[in-house]
Amino acid sequence: MVAPLKVGIAGLGTVGAEVVRLIETQARVLAGRSGRGIRVVAVTARSKSKKRGIDLRGVEWAKDPMALATHPEVDCFVELMGGAGDPALSAVDAALGAGKSVVTANKALLAKHGLKLAKAAEKHGGALNFEAAVGAAIPVIKTLREGLAGTGINRVYGILNGTCNYILTRMEQEGLSFTECLKDAQRLGYAEADPSFDVDGHDTAQKLAILASLAFGTKVAQSAVYVEGISSIAPEDLRAAADLGYRVKLLGVAVRTAKGIEQRVHPTMVPKSSSIAQVMGVTNAVTIDGEGIPPITLVGPGAGGAATASAVVADIADVARGIRANPFGRPIGQLRDTKKAPMERHEGGYYIRLLARDFPGTAAAIATRLAEQKISIESIVQRHPNGGAAPADGKAVPVPVILITYATHEDAVRRALAAVQKDKVISGRPQVIRIEKN
């Protein structure tokens, strides 16, 4: 009989406690699928006395993460503490150095130190599994690393942050402002007290850096990702998008171009007909465009204790089966360097919203500046306030003008809008949102 896989878990928060519960309640199913039993033999956490609703009788309590990582009875070290630095980094490195396998849900750790840790796993023979780090229960890591190993990937993009998707969904459906929706998301526990990491796009950027490495064989580099958040999005942008057949999502996009791999995070208009446009609320989704196959879209809960724990336990089961895949799909020596692609070179369609001054010649001036940069307009909508009636005080009121361009380069858009602003025919700053086609 094959000996059971002995697991040590560092971190007993919502996810860690759920992992312990799943391994206990699904013991027979896991043993049947893995070919051996799986048993939690040791744990560690900041508080030993905290009530967690799980039975830890018979489980050893290690004094700290490092002691657990090097515990002679632990075969698989599960890191659920979080954070890009210590104690997670030192503990994971020590476990891999001791030849143990590691399972983690820590996207920050992988985005910053993934190459170092993958090299240690490769050198010492342990697995480094991290399905839960991106999309929680959505099996996108396994899909890219194993399921599509024989398929060339051209683009991977998706909704990778439930907080942002929830906010944009509420703004669209209820006409609320970003600030109003953010406060409600914080009240409901979908957003942190300091929400900047989510709403400014950095959480999505960490996840995208991991997906890009798996998809394109590049070294994980969060610094190579261009990042914009959603705080500039206004209800009028969402209304205009709906009228034009689009929906606004915060997307992480990694795409192969003639000039290299472009990695970017920003608010994006996607056609309402697309699969990803249908994903609302806190749900996550990832679409993979591969050579010779239709796009594949994976949709599911991207966060939460149960969803994340299910992915962690699936990774532990792979360790029990003896699966040792290269963490990023290829040997470390084959991963290529990647640099931040200048967004000025990005090519695509654009949504542009201007507050045009209602003077003779304004439209002609805007059209001239766009034409100078060889920007072609697919559609234009002019929204007169008050149905076009003259204001009671006789003063000119800025008129919202919405433009959708055909594919063009970002630097051309920036030059054209800079010239329009210099001409003083618009009020305030133009709103620009990139368009991602199917």
Which residues are marked as active site?
A: 207
| Token pair of 150 as six digits | 């024989």
Q: Name the token pair of 178.
A: 């970003």
Residue 71, token pair as written in the block:
């515990």
Element (H, E) at 242: helix 235-243
Q: For residues 246 and 436, what is the distance between their CA atoms, to the nearest angstrom?
A: 10
* Residue count of the chain: 438
Q: Which of 130, 98, 101 is nearest to 113 (CA)?
A: 130
**24: three-class secondary structure by DSSP:** helix
**Alpha-carbon Rg for the chain in angstroms:** 25
Question: Residue 80 CB: number of other CB atoms within 10 A?
Answer: 25
56 with 77: CB under 8 angstroms?
A: no
CA 246 to chain centre: 21
Coil, helix or strand at residue 227: strand
Which positions ≥6 away from 429 have C-beta within 8 Å? 421
Q: How far apart are CA 412 and CA 405, in angstroms?
A: 11
Q: Could you tell me if 293 and 154 are in contact, meaning their C-beta atoms sit under 8 angstroms apart?
A: no
User: Tokens standing for 85?
Assistant: 């630095």
217: left (phi over 0), alpha (psi -120 to 50) or beta: left
The CA–CA distances, whole Å, from 216 to 112, 164, 290 equal 18, 26, 11
Strands (E), 242-346: 246-257, 260-271, 283-290, 296-301
Angle between helix 305-321 and 14-25 (nearest 10): 50
How far is the C-alpha of 114 from the C-alpha of 104, rounded, in Å?
11
